[in-house]
Amino acid sequence: MGIIHHLIAQLRQRINRTLEVFLAKFEEVERAVNLINNRPRKCLDYRNPNEVFYEDRADSHVIQT
């Protein structure tokens, strides 16, 4: 199973199975996505995707002299 299919499966686990994802409330989907994005990953050296994203983003805004 590819990474996208795995992430969709994780999202569906966190949203009521009787409810289709496209009918879920925005807040419910947002909460599930936040849970997924704050979960540590081995491939990221046990950091979570949010940490890596914001760390890289902060580094790109540093002015080099």
47: phi then psi, degrees, rounded to nearest 5: -100, 165
DSSP state of 24: S
Q: For 16-61, what is each residue's pLDDT tens digit?
A: 665 666 677 788 888 888 888 888 989 899 999 889 888 877 776 6
- CB contact at 8 A, 50 and 38: yes
User: What pTM value is reported for the model?
Assistant: 0.57
